[in-house]
Amino acid sequence: MFNPFFDDLWSILSTVFLLVALTYIILTTVKHKKIETWGRKTFILAITGLLLCIFAVMRDDYAVALQGGAGLFSLESLQINLAYFGGAVIGLSALSSIFIRNQKYRKAMFFVLAGAILFKVCLIEISRIMML
C-alpha cells in the first residue's frame, strides 16, 4: 500500500514535501488572523510547491516521457493538462504577489496557491492510486 510513496528517492522526496506543504498550509490557515505580512508566507509556499512538483515530475518519469519514453501519464492525458493549468495558476500567483505589495492581495494569493497545490496533489495522487 505504501510502495508508491516510498519506492525510490523521488517518491520519498515527493512524499516528504507533500507532508511539509500540507502541514505548512494547515498551520498558516489556522494562524491567518494573527499574520500581518504575507509576502514571506506566500514565497515559502510557492517554493515548497515548486519543489513538490519537481520531485513528482521526476518520480513519475515525466522527463522521460518528454523525450519519447514511457512515463506514468501520457503527455496528452487529462491529468497532465490539468496539472499544466494548475502550474500556470501557481506561477502567475507567485509572480504577481512579488510585484503587488498589498498584504490583502498577498493573503489572497497565498490561498490561491494553497488551492492550486492541493488541486494538483489530489489530481496526481488519486490518479496514481487508481492505477495500482
* 8 in a structural domain: no
Looking at residue 1, its pLDDT comes to 54
pLDDT means over runs of 10, the chain (132 residues): 74 90 96 94 94 86 70 79 91 94 96 96 88 74
Domain assignment present for residue 11? The answer is no
Nearest to 114 by CA among 36, 52, 61, 33: 52
Residue 14 is assigned to a structural domain of this protein: no
Asked if residue 44 is part of any domain, the answer here is yes
51: helix, coil or strand? helix
The Cα-based distances of 86 to 22, 90, 103, 117 in angstroms read: 17, 6, 23, 7
Query: Is 101 within a domain?
Result: yes
Would residue 61 count as lying in a domain? yes
Total tally of structural domains belonging to the chain: 1
- Single pTM value for the model: 0.87
- Distance in angstroms (rounded) separating the CA atoms of residues 127 and 130: 5
Question: For residue 60, what are the domain limits?
Answer: 37-130
Q: Which pLDDT score, from 0 to 100, does residue 76 have? A: 78
Look up residue 6 and give its three cell numbers.
516510498
Decide if 19 is inside a domain: no
